[in-house]
Amino acid sequence: MTAAPDYFEDLGPACAAYRRLLGDDIAFRHWTDPGDLTGFGLVLPLLVWGYQRDCPRWFALLNQLEQQQIKIANPVSVLRWNSNKSYLLELEKAGIAIVPTLISAALTANDIAQAVQTFESDHLVVKPPISGGADGTYRLQNGDPLPESIAGKEMLIQPFQPAIAEEGEYSLFYFGGTFSHAILKRPAKGDFRVQEFLGGSESGADCPAGAQELAVQARQAAEQILGTETLLYARVDMLRDAEGRFRLMELELIEPSLFFEHAADGGAMFARAVEAQRCRANDKKTSKSVGLAGDGDEIHAIIGVEDEFGVKLDDDDAPNWHTAGDVFTSLRKVLPANEVDRPENWTRFARALCAETGVDPHSIGPKSPLLSETSFWRQIADLNAGLWIGILVAIVAVTLFAYLS
- 3-state class (DSSP) for residue 16: helix
Q: Which fold has domain 12-95+164-276?
A: D-amino Acid Aminotransferase; Chain A, domain 1 (3.30.470)
306: left (phi over 0), alpha (psi -120 to 50) or beta: alpha
The reported pLDDT for the residue numbered 383 is: 44
Per-residue pLDDT, 202: 82
The per-residue pLDDT for 381 is 46
Residue 286: what pLDDT? 45
pLDDT at 78: 95
The Cα angle at residue 236 between residues 233 and 241, in degrees rounded to 5: 175
Domain ranges of the chain: 12-95+164-276, 102-160, 286-363, 375-405
Q: Which tens digit of pLDDT belongs to each residue from 320-333?
A: 999 998 998 999 99
pTM higher than 0.95, yes or no? no
> Do 75 and 82 contact (CB within 8 A), yes or no?
no
User: So what's the pLDDT on residue 272?
Assistant: 94
Question: Which residue stretches of the chain have pLDDT < 70?
Answer: 133-134, 190, 193-194, 196-199, 201, 282-287, 341-344, 362, 373-405
pLDDT of res. 377: 45
Using CA atoms, how far apart are residues 193 and 399, in angstroms rounded to an integer? 87
Beta strands at 102-104 and 138-141: parallel, antiparallel or unpaired: unpaired
Q: How far is residue 34 from each of residues 75, 159, 206, measured CA to CA in Å?
A: 17, 39, 38
Query: What is the predicted pLDDT for the residue at 389?
Result: 45
Q: What CATH number should be reported for the domain whose range is 102-160?
A: 3.30.1490
Beta-carbon contacts of 173 under 8 Å, excluding residues fewer than 6 positions away, are 179, 180, 181, 182, 233, 234, 235, 236, 258, 259, 263
